[in-house]
Amino acid sequence: MNTQLTSNAEALRLFFTDDVYLVNDQTQSITAEPVIITNRKVEDTTIVAPVAQVEQVTPVLSIVEEPKLVFEKKVEFEYLGKNQKRILILVNDNTNKVSSVQGTELLRKLVKAIELTNNDFALVNYANYTNASFEDLKSFFKCELILSFGVAMRTLGLAEQPLHQLFVVDNVKFVFTKNLHDLDSDQVSKKILWGSLQQLK
């Protein structure tokens, strides 16, 4: 094996940039002995790592509310007529299918006066759907005109308007008036209502 000791001045200049002085010392002698590597079997030893004391922490679980599914409310209505002209007629009678004999006859005359047939409108007795709003009716019937006999504006979620008058909300025309049976004997209200219905022709 080659020794790594050198006394070559040029080689030493590469390693030492400062001045180096040689001192003759009789007490020390520099000798290099080769290192002899022998193959020795190392005994198997088991290394035991220190076990850290870990404090057990019980996790605190918070209660998370399960998300509630929101389903869109869709009301189905039973009605008379075919709704071809998207005209909705609301009546409000707890005892009759439409109204009393007098009220039903009045409605027939009013419908005929504005030149409508059973194919043109849908007739709903609101007494069977007291929780239905204007939005429910509009969504189901796609109505462009609502004639309401005995159903209050607030009941449908609308702001108050004068009775028997034509007005428009959300591109839908409205006329709110009395219950058909009561309207039949009220000549003043019938006259105002008649004037409003004439604007629909």
Say how far apart CA 90 and CA 176 lie, in whole Å. 9
Distances in Å between the alpha carbon of 52 and those of 46, 47, 49, 55, 56?
Answer: 18, 15, 9, 9, 12
**Residue 200 has what pLDDT?**
84
Q: Please say whether the structural domain 80-198 has been given the CATH code 3.40.470.10.
A: yes
Say how far apart CA 177 and CA 162 lie, in whole Å. 9
**Residue 94 has what pLDDT?**
94
- Every domain of the chain and the residues it spans: 80-198
Give the dihedral sign, CA 80/85/87/89. negative
**Residue 169 has what pLDDT?**
92
Residue 22 structure tokens: 């040689």
Residue 190 structure tokens: 């019938």
Q: β-strands 87-91, 80-81: how paired?
A: unpaired
| Cβ 100 vs Cβ 181: under 8 Å | yes
**Residue 128 has what pLDDT?**
95
Angle at 78 between CA 75 and CA 84, to 5 degrees: 100
**Residue 201 has what pLDDT?**
74
pLDDT tens for the chain, residues 1 to 201: 566 666 666 766 666 666 656 666 566 555 555 656 555 555 555 555 555 565 666 666 666 666 665 555 677 899 999 999 999 999 999 999 999 999 999 999 999 999 999 999 999 999 999 999 999 999 999 999 999 999 999 999 999 999 999 999 999 999 999 999 999 999 999 999 999 998 887
